[in-house]
């Protein structure tokens, strides 16, 4: 839940896109099950920023181009769309990441101007949720902390790829000073 202070706060919703949900090209088990919680949370925040994987078709992370992932979240394709149950009108901002073919990016802060935008909005604290806890949520949270923000990860509104990697990611974030809210 958002902290109780007077400064504006932001919720960062990471990559709740069709390709990461059941039926997508890179589905996270029960990834769609966090959507009702996220929809409820969004109404509690001054700002809601959504990150969106936005890969060109020849992205370096795709197996066909030497990477480790199947093609996913291709710019303009249905798999890159936000899940239809997600209340996207609540988004105050959308940040697209990993849009260069030659650069793999997990964090919503890499090459997006997100830190500058948050500072411009007077944000000092961010809560983070979404997909996947052990990849893009973790990277976004760690970069938010490095950028000087107070950070909490809302686990009830996150899903990871594997239990082992998710447990390790939670511990890594905790060690970095990120508040883990279960």
Catalytic residues: 15, 97, 136
Q: In whole angstroms, give the CA distance from residue 137 to residue 10.
A: 15
Token pair listed for 124? 């000092």
| Residue 113, burial from CB neighbour count under 10 angstroms (0-12, 13-18, 19+) | exposed
Q: In whole angstroms, give the CA distance from residue 140 to residue 51.
A: 9
Strands (E), the chain: 9-14, 47-53, 93-97, 125-131, 150-159, 179-181
47 phi and psi angles, rounded to 5 deg? -135, 140
Give the rounded distance of the alpha carbon of 107 from its chain centre.
7
C-beta atoms surrounding 76 within 10 Å: 10
Pair 98, 54: CB distance under 8 Å: yes
């Amino acid at each position: 839940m958002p902290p109780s202070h007077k400064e504006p706060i932001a919720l960062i919703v990471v990559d709740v896109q069709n390709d990461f949900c059941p039926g997508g090209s890179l589905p996270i088990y029960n990834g769609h099950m966090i959507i009702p919680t996220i929809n409820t949370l969004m109404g509690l925040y001054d700002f809601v920023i959504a990150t969106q994987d936005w890969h060109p078709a020849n992205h370096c992370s795709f197996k066909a181009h030497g990477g480790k992932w199947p093609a996913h979240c291709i710019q303009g394709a249905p798999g890159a769309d936000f899940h239809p149950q997600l209340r996207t009108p609540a988004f105050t901002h959308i940040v697209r990441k990993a849009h260069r073919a030659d650069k793999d990016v997990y964090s919503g802060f890499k090459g997006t101007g997100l830190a500058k935008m948050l500072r411009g909005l007077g944000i000092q604290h961010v809560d983070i949720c979404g997909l996947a806890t052990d990849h893009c949520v973790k990277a976004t949270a760690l970069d938010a902390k490095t950028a000087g923000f107070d950070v909490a990860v809302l686990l009830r509104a996150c899903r990871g790829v594997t239990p082992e990697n998710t447990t390790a990611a939670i511990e890594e974030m905790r060690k970095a000073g990120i508040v883990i809210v279960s």
